[in-house]
A and B are shown apart, each in its own frame.
Chain A
Amino acid sequence: MSATPMLEIKGLKATVTTDAKNEILKGLDLSVRAGEVHAIMGPNGSGKSTLAAVLAGHPAYTVTGGTVSYRGKDLLEMSPEDRAREGVFLAFQYPVAIRGITNSYFLRSALNAIRKHRGQEELDPLDFLQVLETKLKQIGWDDSFLNRAVNDGFSGGEKKRNEILQMAILEPTLAILDETDSGLDIDALKTVAEAVNALRRPDRATVVVTHYQRLLNYIVPDRVHVLAGGRIVKSGGKELALELEAKGYDWIKPEAVAV
């Protein structure tokens, strides 16, 4: 493990852009090193998805305080596209449908934007197809939804799988999975988890945002954090997730007040 964290969040505060009084993150600290998987758990409305969105640069939220350092750079200064090009990937809780554009074209556009940024040659459709086939094999999926419009008419499970496929193609350094498990049946959940595990590497980090412990049976975290009231109120090993599953979130709250 390297000495400097890949991602270091200090005192992060954020509000809803259209409602400056609505502060959702209230001084959040989090440190993630390369090679680690961190789980962020917490009750609904605690700010889990906001944290994921803020890290990706979503314009719906405004950062009002704190710092985020990613591989030694100021993440908050970067545009959403530059974050992606620098290796940050957000798997959306609600992936967006884009009518009229094929999934494979979308994937190639994204990969080429990132390759260009890295000074690599852009891939033509044939070269890209090879990359795609390798990745599909690696995560054990077929190519059935490549020529459909992006997420258009996809089932909930297909949308989530599509996010993971994008992640596999774009090979991020920091992957943030926002409730990728929500709405999945157990088989789909296993498939998605296996795909995430297949992408684990010592130079990558993953932040898994989830409401339920279930996903963590398949993606085993190094650290588990409880987010409540816009802050991390408790951190621990993977056993903390089991404790949360057994006891719920209510027992955390008094501690949160005490912090």
Chain B
Amino acid sequence: MSVAPRWLTELREKGAARFAEVGFPTTRLEAWRFTDVRPIAETSFAHGVSRWTAHASTPPHVLVGDLAQAEGVAQAHLGRYADVSANPFTALATAFLEDVQVVSVPARTEVATPIRLSHRFEGTGAVMTTPRLLIVLGDQARATVIESHEDGGAEATFSNSVTEIVLGNGAELDYVRVQREGAAASHIATTQSHQGRDSVLRSTSIALGAGLSRHDLGAVLAGTGASLVLNGLSVLSGRQHVDYHTTIDHAQPHGESHELFNGVFDQHARGVFNGRIIVRPGAQRTDSKQTNNNLLLSGDARADSQPQLEIYADDVKCTHGATLGPLDATALFYLRSRGLSPQAAKSLLTYGFAADVLTRIANVPVRDDLDRAIRARLGVETRAAA
């Protein structure tokens, strides 16, 4: 970019100032207790070149473009939701804000085909990139957006990604984020959404790759009657590490949120889930359900699950549950008693555990693509998901 507009320079400076103040988080901080980011902090990364590739077939007035093409929308929204003071990595990403992809759908416009955005590295070596995505849907607009991060990690790359999602009143977004970077990658992500009245956000975050990954998902149900589905799936092995921190903020009455995060951890893999749900005073008739299931396929795999409910309204329904452990012995026997080998029984049960999240993705081609990836990893030949 040639000369940055003043608002952008100011935003970057704000991020840089904040990061200079706090630096990289350490495991002494509660929110980073289980995730040690020293592999990132102690590597000197070059500022890498990266770019977004967009595949979209959109009606007129729908904007899918970069900062130059969408400056008005960017100026109005960028940095308003992903708070630099909430997370040091958001501050760092904002300081280096450059590689921006914007999707803007005007009010009452429906985008029938999914908008696919994939982030790619260019160049080699230990590079850092800061992919930024902004999705803005006007009142009653509808769209499906697929964000993918797939090709980092052949070398020690570091992605520090921030996505902001803004939904107008009655807007409806299906959002799927897929992270399949290589095992040498460190991947840090923040997704912050802000929902208007009666809007619907169905979000699925998939983590299959990276050696070290952390994804903070924050959702504010800012309008009455907003509805959120916040799902996630991790399938990790080797020494991979994933940390999901989710915060669902019910700010207004009649909101509903359904959260399901399943994690499959094999060998020495490690999973962290922290699910915070806030129900603000006055957010009556909130209906919130959180579920976190962790499947440990080896004695060396580990998972930590922490629900955190902060409820300040009295007429609400909030439930949460977590499971942690190996495959169910009775289920394994059931499959073996039908002629399946122990290995086939194990693969099928593990796949079913993952498919429980995948089958909730509405878009069929996207779901099928992920289904293939999961099956390839688990050795299940043909599509079997219910």
Contact B339 A81 (CB under 8 A): yes
Known A-B contacts A58-B333, A90-B337, A92-B334; the reply to A99 vs B342 at CB < 8 A is no
Q: Could you say which of A57, A110, A152 contacts B340, with CB atoms under 8 Å apart? A: A110
B333, B339, B341, B359 pick with most chain A CB within 10 angstroms: B339
Smallest beta-carbon distance A201→chain B, Å:
20
What is the 8 Å Cβ interface bit string for chain B, positions 325-356, against chain A (1 contact, 0 not)?
Answer: 00011110111111111101000110111111
Contact B336 A81 (CB under 8 A): yes
Smallest beta-carbon distance B80→chain A, Å:
38
Tell me the bound Cα distance from A147 to B384 in angstroms: 9
Tell me the bound Cα distance from A99 to B295 in angstroms: 13
Tell me the bound Cα distance from A59 to B331 in angstroms: 12
Q: Is A173 an interface residue (CB 8 A)?
A: no
How many residues from B make CB contacts under 8 Å with A? 30
Contact B337 A100 (CB under 8 A): no
Q: Is A79 an interface residue (CB 8 A)?
A: yes
A98, A103, A125 pick with most chain B CB within 10 angstroms: A98
What is the 8 Å Cβ interface bit string for chain A, positions 116-127, against chain B (1 contact, 0 not)?
Answer: 010000000100
Q: Could you say which of A56, A79, A92, A152 contacts B386, with CB atoms under 8 Å apart? A: A152
B336, B337, B384 pick with most chain A CB within 10 angstroms: B337
Tell me the bound Cα distance from A100 to B233 in angstroms: 13
Contact A81 B386 (CB under 8 A): no
> Which residues A101-116 have CB closer than 8 A to chain B?
101-103, 105-106, 109-111, 113-114
Smallest beta-carbon distance A57→chain B, Å:
7
Q: Is B20 an interface residue (CB 8 A)?
A: no
Contact B334 A109 (CB under 8 A): no
Q: Is B382 an interface residue (CB 8 A)?
A: yes
Q: Is A96 an interface residue (CB 8 A)?
A: yes
Q: Could you say which of A96, A148, A170 contacts B330, with CB atoms under 8 Å apart? A: A96
Chain B residues with CB under 8 A of A170 = 338-339
Contact B344 A109 (CB under 8 A): yes
Q: Is B385 an interface residue (CB 8 A)?
A: yes
Smallest beta-carbon distance A79→chain B, Å:
7
Contact B339 A100 (CB under 8 A): no
Chain A residues with CB under 8 A of B354 = 100
Smallest beta-carbon distance A175→chain B, Å:
12
Chain A residues with CB under 8 A of B328 = 96
Q: Could you say which of A57, A92, A100 contacts B359, with CB atoms under 8 Å apart? A: A100
Closest CB pairs A-B (n = 10):
A100-B352, A100-B355, A149-B386, A105-B384, A113-B339, A110-B338, A84-B339, A80-B336, A96-B334, A101-B352
28 of the cross-chain contacts (CB-CB < 8 Å) are A56-B337, A57-B333, A57-B336, A79-B336, A80-B333, A80-B337, A81-B340, A83-B337, A92-B334, A96-B328, A96-B330, A96-B334, A98-B349, A99-B352, A100-B352, A100-B353, A100-B355, A100-B359, A101-B355, A102-B386, A105-B382, A106-B384, A109-B384, A110-B340, A147-B386, A150-B386, A152-B386, A166-B338
Chain A positions within 8 Å of B, measured between CB atoms, are 56-59, 79-81, 83-85, 89-90, 92, 95-96, 98-103, 105-106, 109-111, 113-114, 117, 125, 147-150, 152, 166, 170
